[in-house]
Structure 1
Amino acid sequence: MTTPLTLTPGVGPDGAALLTVAGEIDMSNTGALAAALDRTPGPLVLDLTSVDYLDSAGLSVLFDHAERITLIANPLLTPVLTVSGLAGLATVHDGDPGLG
């Protein structure tokens, strides 16, 4: 069964591409996330503040784009991004999408 995931493209306050992600990111829906990231060229702010769960398959997709993404994470995800090493490769901000 596919886990609910919402991907909403947009533009951040600074004019950068923004992808707002909501729901759970797991192996059942990483294809949709990867496709959305692939469709957005250049630097990208990824707002994960409404993500409730992120598994290793989701992390793998994020690692593939680490050199060009800025992550905005909720307090639940911040330790996952840090322990996985992704926070050392991509810029990570806490909470507010306006920071991107």
Structure 2
Amino acid sequence: MTTPLSITSGRYSDGRPRLTAAGEIDMSNSGVLARALDETPGPVVVDLTSVEYLDSAGLSVLFAHAARLELIAPPLLEPVLTVSGLGDMATVRGPEPGGSPAPD
């Protein structure tokens, strides 16, 4: 059974691509995230503020693209990103005050 995950794509007003994930990222659906990242060229902002769970399969996908990622992570995911070492390879920041991931 696949865990619910939605990925939406967009762009900031400066043209940077943005992927917004919502739900849980695990081995049953990490391929959805991998495809979205594979189909988005260049540096990309990945908004994880609505992700409630991230397992090693999801981390593996993020590691594969780490050099070009800026991750927006909620406090819930910060320990996972830090302990895994992903925070040393990709830019990781929290959401903007007021809940907005970043200005468009």
TM normalised by structure 2 equals: 0.92
CA RMSD of aligned residues (A): 1.3
CA distance in 1, matches of 2:28, 2:12: 28
Q: Where does residue 22 of structure 1 map in the other structure? A: 22
Alignment coverage as a number of residue pairs:
100
Give the secondary structure class of the aligned counterpart of 1:98: coil
Deviation, 1:15, is 2.0
TM-fit CA distance, 1:14: 3.0
- Cα separation, 1, equivalents of 2:13 and 2:84: 29
Identity %: 67
Report the counterpart of residue 8 of structure 1 in structure 2: 8
Task: Report deviation, 1:26.
Answer: 0.1
SS for the counterpart of 2:60 is helix
Give distance in 2, aligned partners of 1:10 and 1:2.
24
CA distance in 2, matches of 1:7, 1:92: 19
Aligned partners of 2:36 and 2:49: how far apart in 1?
17
Instruction: Assess if the C-alpha contact under 8 Å between 1:13 and 1:98 holds in 2.
Output: no
Alignment of 1:1-100 (within 5 A): 1-96=1-96, 97-98=101-102
Deviates most, 83-92 or 10-19: 10-19
* Cα pair 1:93 1:99 within 8 Å, conserved: no
Give the ranges of 4+ consecutive aligned residues of structure 1 lying more than 3 Å apart after TM superposition.
none
C-alpha distance in structure 2 between counterparts of 1:37 and 1:91, whole Å: 16
The one-letter amino acid paired with 2:19 is L
Distance 1:72 1:61 in 2: 16
